[in-house]
Amino acid sequence: MRHRFLTGIAGVAVLAAITVVPVAAAGDSLATPPLAVHFEVQTSGVNGGLSGGPFTASGPAVAAGLICAAGDTIDAGVAQVSGWQSLRGINIQVVKQFSCADNGPTFLVKLQVRIDAKGDNFSWTVVDGAGAYARLHGSGSGVGLYPTGPEPQYGVLDVYDGGVHVD
- Using the Cα atoms of residue 116, residue 119, residue 125 and residue 127 in order, give the sign of their dihedral: positive
Is 157 part of any domain?
Answer: yes
Is 39 part of any domain?
Answer: yes
Instruction: Tell me the average pLDDT across 113-125.
Output: 92
24: enclosing H helix or E strand: helix 2-26
- Calculate the average pLDDT of the chain: 80
CATH number of the structural domain spanning residue 92: 2.40.350.10
| Upper half-sphere CA count for residue 111 (Cβ side, 13 Å) | 29
Q: What is the per-residue pLDDT for 149?
A: 65
Q: What is the per-residue pLDDT for 62?
A: 96
Tell me the C-alpha distance between 37 and 109, whole Å.
Answer: 14
Is 65 part of any domain?
Answer: yes
Is 18 part of any domain?
Answer: no
Is 15 part of any domain?
Answer: no
Is 13 part of any domain?
Answer: no
pLDDT tens track for 42-84:
988 655 566 889 999 999 999 999 999 999 999 988 766 777 6
The residue range of the domain holding 47 is 32-166
DSSP states of 101-115 as a string? TTS--EEEEEEEEEE
pLDDT tens track for 16-36:
333 333 333 444 456 788 999
Instruction: Tell me the average pLDDT across 113-123.
Output: 90
Is 90 part of any domain?
Answer: yes
The number of distinct structural domains making up the chain is: 1
Is 16 part of any domain?
Answer: no
